[in-house]
Each structure stands twice: as structure tokens, then as C-alpha cells.
Amino acid sequence: MIDIGKYNELRFIKKTNAGLILTDGEKEVVLPYQHAPQDIELGDNLHVFVYIHSDGRLMATTETPLAMVDEFAFLEVVDTNEQGAFLDMGIGKDVFVPEREQKRPMKIGQKYVVFLYTDERNERITASSRLTDFIDQDSHDLEEGDEVSLLIFDESDLGYSAIINQQYAGLLYHNEVFEDLQPGDVRRGFVKKIREENKIDLSLQVIGFRHILDLKDSLMIELQENGGIINLGDKSSPEDIYNQLKISKKAFKKAIGSLYKERLVVVSDDSVKLVIKPADETAG
């Protein structure tokens, strides 16, 4: 069975004026010559993306789409009409967003986070910016501390809403984010807390003791690469710390506190310095 809006393994069975004919054994798909490998031979299998052309034919391409069916993606509007908007998929085939599926009216040249699906009536690839209709809100398999992939899709007074692992939604709080995030930004994140009704709090920093271990190693490397000194200390602003190290001030202070207890660094209001041990001590 051919999956429309996804990759398929199809066999090359013949040539026509329109292009190569590929099949899964039941249905035939046209691959235009400009997208066909030059060394293709009859009987070869091809890994192709399949979609429905405006004339109703099944079409294939070896180009890489910006998104596939059952995925969230950040796509640009290239055209609009009374029925809806058309988003660039990166393959010469635009995806349609019906007016009813637009959370806000879409404008040409703007980019939006959308979910791609196949319309049950005609099997065409369709998109929606009404994301909550496609987010799994009833259950999840996440645990606190898990590393996840985040796609930022909205901002509120509390913080930034993000799609987690292409399935769930969570929140990054403003007071724990030290960069200007925008819809469409992709970040590595971590599950900070799972609250009632499966609401998920997120962080851009590693959670727990492993976080401090990772930061200690990173800070030691930073010190060694900068002549044994970092021009950040107890009185440095959270913004300065994040701009240089991409971590929060709280995490920075925990990590340098741990290094200080091990007598590896000395800390002042505006700097952290490596402790230079005597040669006989380091040799032992």
C-alpha cells in the first residue's frame, strides 16, 4: 500500500512520455525524468516521496520535502485564495491549508508551524495551524529528565509553547529562558516536571545531578581553552552568563560551587580561575 505524503520503496517497471512508472505491485506512480537517477534500470527499487498531483495522478520525487504527513513543520506561505493558503514543501508541490484550518489568517511570505495530514475525502496532503487538534494530550511516555526535541510554536505571558518529539506539547517558562525564541525554532530540551493532567514543564538545560556533572566538564574545558580564566563570577548578570555559556545563572553557580569545593577553581565577583597546583602534587 502506497503511503501518500511519505517515502515509499517502489519498483521501476516502464517508461512513458510523462516519466518513469513505479509501482508497489498494485498502483502505478509517475516519476518525472528530471527527478530520476540517470543510471536507473528496469526492476530497480527507488526510495521516493509520493504525493497526488493537481490532476489526480500519483506522483513521485527524489527531492527531499521540508516535511511529511504526520509531522509538525515550519513552512512559508507562497500563495493564498478564497479557499485557503498554499505552503512551500520544498519539492515543487505546495501543501494546501483550508481557511477553516487556519488558526489565524495566513499571509504570503510569512511562515507558520503546521501539522501535515491527508484529507480523508481525496487523500491529498493538507496542513493545519490548529495544532492542538493534532497533539497527543491524553497520554505520553515521557519521564522527568528525558532529553527531547522541541519545536517552538507559540509564545504567551508564561513562556514558550513547544511540540515535544513531534507528539506532545510542553512549556518553557520565560524566567528560565535566556534567548529570544521564535516560532519555528528547533532546540534540544529536557523534561523538567510532569504536572497534573499530563502538563509538561520543559527546560533547555539538562535536569538533575547529571546536569552539574556535564556543566563541570564544560566549564573546565572553557577554562582550559581561555588561559585558565572565565570573566564571569558571582555578580555577573544572568544574561551575560547565558550569552557566553548558554546556561542559567543558577546552573552556573551550582557548577562553579562544585568545582570550588574540589579546590579546582577560585571564584570572585567577576571571574572564575583555575587553581594552579604545584608540580609535585600534579605528578602524583
- Which tens digit of pLDDT belongs to each residue from 185-197? 999 999 999 988 8
Query: What CATH architecture applies to the domain 147-203?
Result: Beta Barrel (2.40)
User: What is the arithmetic mean of pLDDT over 137-156?
Assistant: 89
**Residue 131: pLDDT over 90:** yes
User: Domains of the chain: which residue ranges?
Assistant: 7-61, 72-132, 147-203, 209-274
C-alpha span between 2 and 125 (Å, rounded): 14
* 7-61 and 72-132: identical CATH topology: yes
pLDDT at residue 139, rounded to an integer: 77
pLDDT value at 127 more than 70:
yes
How does residue 51 score in pLDDT terms, banded at 50, 70 and 90?
A: very high
H/E stretch holding 213: helix 209-225
CATH match for 209-274 among 2.60.40.10, 1.10.10.10, 1.10.730.10, 3.60.15.10: 1.10.10.10
**What is the rounded CA–CA span in Å between residue 13 and residue 248?**
58
Looking up cell 581553552 gives 225
pLDDT for 280 beyond 60: no
Q: Provide the total of helices (H) and of strands (E) in the chain, helices listed first.
A: 4, 18
Q: What is the pLDDT of residue 284?
A: 46
pLDDT of residue 207: 64
Is the pLDDT assigned to residue 211 strictly greater than 60? no
H or E stretch including 88? Answer: strand 84-88
| Predicted pLDDT of residue 252 | 83
More confident residue, 252 or 111: 111
Residue with cell 522527568: 144
Return the exposure string of 148-157: e unless at least 16 CB atoms fall within 10 Å of the residue's CB, then b.
Answer: bebbbbeeee
- CATH superfamily of the 72-132 domain: Nucleic acid-binding proteins (2.40.50.140)
pLDDT of amino acid 282: 46
Please say whether the beta carbons of 57 and 30 come within 8 A: yes
Reduced to 3 states, what is the DSSP secondary structure of residue 236?
Answer: coil
Beta-bridged to residue 28, according to DSSP, are 23
Tell me what pLDDT residue 6 has: 97
Residue 111 has pLDDT above 50, yes or no: yes
In degrees rounded to 5, what are phi and psi of residue 277? -85, 150
pLDDT of residue 242: 80
CATH architecture of 7-61: Beta Barrel (2.40)
Q: Identify the pLDDT of residue 212.
A: 52
Which residue has better confidence, 141 or 84? 84
Q: How confident is the model at residue 200 (pLDDT cuts 50, 70, 90)?
A: very high
Grid cell digits, residue 43: 526492476
The residue among 284 and 175 whose pLDDT is bigger is 175
pLDDT, greater one: 30 or 211 = 30
Q: Please determine, for residue 105, whether its predicted confidence score (pLDDT) is greater than 60.
A: yes
Residue 15 reports pLDDT greater than 80: yes
pLDDT at 10: 97
Least confident range of 105-109, 203-207, 234-238, 280-284: 280-284
Checking DSSP bridges between strand 111-118 and strand 125-128, what pairing results, if any?
antiparallel
pLDDT for the residue numbered 209: 44
* Average pLDDT of every residue of the chain: 89
